[in-house]
Amino acid sequence: MHISAQWISFSTIVRKEIRRFMRIWVQTLLPPAITMALYFVIFGALIGARIGDMGGFSYMEFVVPGLIMMSVLTNSYSNVVSSFYSAKFQHSIEELLVSPTPNYVILAGYIVGGVCRGLAVGLIVTLMSLFFTDLQVHSLSVTVSIVVLTSVLFSLMGLINAVFANSFDDISIIPTFVLTPLTYLGGVFYSIDLLPEFWQGVSQLNPILYVVNTFRYGILGVSDVNIVTAFLGVLAFIVILFAASLWLLNNGKRLRS
């Protein structure tokens, strides 16, 4: 398949994915914005005023980067898992897989769609946060790169979940029982320095801790983890999950009737 034809296929998938979540923006973009606004009010303004500072910053300043990253990763994941499983359920993915379009182009198209929704929600939440606090970006390169890489990572996770899901209920199992607990225990609302030494070690096994703290470093310049280690870990997971996702598409056992 010629490179120009691959580009047409890729851009078509991306446009379809963007139009999909933009067409139902009341379900895809508005709820996360409302949820994060409630977090800002309850945890930042009400509870935060009683907590005081956290690492030299007001609690609102501390919690905002974590809430932005939480909205980015959950929406990147949700977009791909729901879209890909719908295509699988309706058997339209079979038509795409038997087309001349290479599987890596299909995979890239769905990933970019998930990244676009994650970044869109992240931007909305960031703009909302300006009503509650002033954001001063410490490192723009770190901030942008970790957001994009995190969106890619969780888009890949969403696709793998969609491949193995056998019903619409299955696509909610991972977000409910894995992503949500890991997110709340991933340093979004607190610094792991507050934990006993044993639980600090346990927390360092949580991958979300690294992306949240790396993003917080990009905004505030402080982090509970090593930034280089975090980037290397995210990149390694992306490579592994991309290879696994491509293998699943090439294998096609759970995708073709």
Domain boundaries, the chain: 3-251
Structure confidence at residue 257 (pLDDT): 56
Instruction: List own/partner pairs for 173-182 with CB under 8 A and 24 or more apart.
Output: 174/77, 174/81, 175/74, 175/77, 175/78, 175/81, 179/73, 179/74, 179/77, 179/208, 182/206, 182/207, 182/208
Q: What is the pTM of this model?
A: 0.92
State how far Cα 133 lies from the chain centre. Answer: 23
Structure confidence at residue 256 (pLDDT): 66
Structure confidence at residue 92 (pLDDT): 86
What is the Cα–Cα distance from 174 to 67, expressed in whole angstroms? 19
Residues in the chain with pLDDT values less than 70: 44, 256-257
- Neighbour tally for 150: CB within 10 Å: 26
Structure confidence at residue 152 (pLDDT): 97
What is the Cα–Cα distance from 122 to 128, expressed in whole angstroms? 10
